[in-house]
């Protein structure tokens, strides 16, 4: 089959295109300003790329099917041709994944507001380690896997992030509705994606729809410490296990400790120690990601082996993965520089809860250093004032807060836009220092001067974008300065 992707250079689109090529399909695609790194990856896989959305390029290639990316909207010339003529069948990317990649395979879907990418990567790594040859799609750059996509064995488990964002301009259901979960992880649930959902009730409804498609021979792993997860209607049609730190959980994280060198904790099943974990990934949030992936790996092994899961001890007779050398995913608490006087960390955090967890972990590890938190309001929710006070509150866990330019501020009505000046006032009232910069270049210059005056510090960048290159430039500046 000849499959054409409209908007192919997005991470998910590109990875799926590669998997279809591995399945034996002919694959091509288009995008505006065909850009690396995905353009380079696609080129290395001999997938033809077309610059722009000229309908003639698509028609001359003669596709049998068209995949419409989530970022593509009406007005796109290729989309308009497909809609106008109905001469080529078209699907959303999530529908294609469900129908062509997952199909009848046991699918492990990782859902939740935070931790999807890390938990997906950990689960795929664990399943490989115990010999399950999984397929997977990771929405980032995994550091413990050779790449972010793999077909795996024809009947082996498939691991995928269950994104709650909508599927396409013509399918406003959450992507995860298409993913056919046999094992479902619900890591946490908070309001996010204010451009898609009205409120917490609205997003909770979408998660409940996901619960309702887990089959009666499936499993739900829920964060038993999360009030919003616990408020969802109980899924009586399948087996549910709870994971977390609270005493009521089935699978618990106990004896947690964190230092600069190591994080350690026990994983217990109803009071019995299953394994002792010692690794380098930071924070309680990553301990929960590991616990979720560990239990999911056990269940997938049982499913593949035809073993009935024993609720008294589902681990009996099955391989427990070793996570001691796991590094997680790029740009998740990624340490760019680490020495006695300067630490620089890049983090994808763009929601208050994620930022709070990272700063708590950083404080535990580097209690002797002054912490400077740099925050770029960039995501569709972060640029609004929905979490304005909450951002100010959690950023105040740092000693010094620098807020960068609001991404595409001109596209947001002033009454709905985040107000960094008001955030800084709130931060200063908490006794911490803070500054706002209308241009990220100005923030960079400030950091350079601050480095001259305060050599011993930790700088952490929070952004789901590039921060206009500030992160890499500042790290390179510090490296060069150390060589002088």
Question: Domain end: 88, 115, 130, which one?
Answer: 88
Statement to judge: residues 67 and 187 lie in one domain: no
Closest CA to 147 of 21, 3, 333, 330: 330
Question: Domain end: 40, 63, 88, which one?
Answer: 88
**71 contacts: CB under 8 Å, gap ≥ 6:** 7, 10
Other beta carbons within 10 Å of 317: 11
Statement to judge: residues 191 and 301 lie in one domain: yes
| Average pLDDT for 430-443 | 96
pLDDT at 35 > cutoff 80: no
Statement to judge: residues 84 and 99 lie in one domain: no
pLDDT at 441 > cutoff 70: yes
**Residue 314, in any domain of the structure:** no
pLDDT at 343 > cutoff 70: yes
Lowest mean pLDDT among 327-341, 349-363, 396-410: 327-341
Structural domain span for residue 36: 2-88
Let me know: does 293 contact 119? Beta carbons within 8 Å. yes
- Residue 67 bridge partners (DSSP): 5, 91
Statement to judge: residues 343 and 426 lie in one domain: yes
| Average pLDDT for 463-468 | 91
145: domain CATH number is 3.40.1190.10
Statement to judge: residues 79 and 121 lie in one domain: no
Statement to judge: residues 141 and 253 lie in one domain: yes
**Residue 148, in any domain of the structure:** yes
359: domain CATH number is 3.90.190.20
Lowest mean pLDDT among 191-195, 200-204, 211-215: 191-195
Number of domains in the chain: 3
Statement to judge: residues 141 and 265 lie in one domain: yes
Statement to judge: residues 164 and 298 lie in one domain: yes
pLDDT at 443 > cutoff 90: yes
45: domain CATH number is 3.40.50.720
**Residue 247, in any domain of the structure:** yes
Question: Domain end: 68, 88, 108, which one?
Answer: 88
Lowest mean pLDDT among 1-10, 201-210, 283-292, 333-342: 333-342
């Amino acid at each position: 089959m000849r499959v054409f992707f409209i908007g192919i250079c997005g991470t998910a689109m590109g990875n799926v295109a590669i998997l279809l090529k591995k399945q034996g399909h002919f694959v091509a695609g288009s995008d505006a300003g065909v850009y690396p790194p995905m353009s380079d990856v696609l080129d290395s896989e001999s997938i033809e790329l077309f610059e722009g959305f000229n309908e003639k390029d698509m028609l001359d290639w003669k596709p049998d099917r068209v995949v419409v990316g989530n970022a593509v909207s009406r007005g796109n010339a290729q989309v308009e041709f497909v809609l106008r003529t109905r001469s080529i069948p078209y699907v959303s990317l999530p529908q294609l994944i469900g129908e062509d990649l997952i199909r009848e395979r046991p699918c492990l879907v990782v859902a939740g507001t935070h931790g999807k990418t890390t938990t997906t990567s950990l689960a795929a790594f664990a399943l490989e380690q115990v010999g399950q040859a999984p397929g997977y799609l990771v929405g980032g750059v995994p550091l413990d896997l050779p790449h972010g996509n793999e077909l795996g064995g024809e009947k082996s488990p498939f691991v995928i992030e269950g994104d709650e964002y909508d599927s396409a301009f013509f399918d406003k259901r959450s992507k995860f509705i298409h993913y056919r979960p046999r094992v479902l992880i619900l890591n946490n649930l908070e309001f996010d994606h204010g451009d898609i959902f009205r409120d917490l009730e609205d997003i909770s409804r979408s998660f409940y729809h996901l619960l309702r498609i887990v089959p009666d021979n499936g499993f739900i792993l829920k964060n038993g410490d999360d009030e919003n997860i616990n408020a969802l209607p109980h899924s009586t049609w399948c087996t549910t296990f709870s994971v977390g730190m609270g005493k009521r959980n089935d699978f618990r994280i106990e004896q947690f400790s964190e230092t600069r060198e190591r994080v350690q904790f026990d994983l217990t099943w109803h009071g019995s120690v299953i394994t002792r974990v010692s690794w380098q990934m930071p924070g309680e949030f990553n301990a929960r990601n590991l616990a979720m992936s560990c239990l999911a790996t056990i269940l997938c092994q049982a499913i593949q082996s035809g073993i009935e899961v024993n609720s008294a001890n589902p681990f009996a007779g099955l391989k427990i993965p070793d996570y001691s050398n796991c590094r997680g995913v790029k740009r998740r608490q990624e340490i760019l520089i680490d020495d006695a006087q300067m630490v620089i960390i890049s983090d994808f955090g763009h929601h208050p809860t994620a930022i709070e967890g990272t700063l708590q972990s950083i404080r535990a590890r580097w209690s002797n250093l002054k912490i400077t938190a740099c925050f770029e309001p960039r995501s569709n929710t972060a640029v609004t004032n929905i979490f304005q006070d909450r951002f100010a509150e959690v950023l105040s866990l740092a000693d010094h807060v620098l807020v960068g330019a609001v991404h595409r501020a001109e596209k947001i009505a002033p009454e709905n836009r985040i107000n960094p000046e008001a955030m800084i006032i709130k931060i200063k009232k908490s006794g911490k220092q803070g500054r706002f910069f209308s241009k990220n270049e100005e923030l960079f210059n400030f950091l350079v001067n601050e480095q001259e005056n305060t050599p011993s510090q930790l700088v952490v960048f929070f952004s789901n974008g590039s921060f206009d290159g500030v992160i890499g430039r500042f790290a390179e500046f510090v490296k060069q300065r150390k060589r002088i």
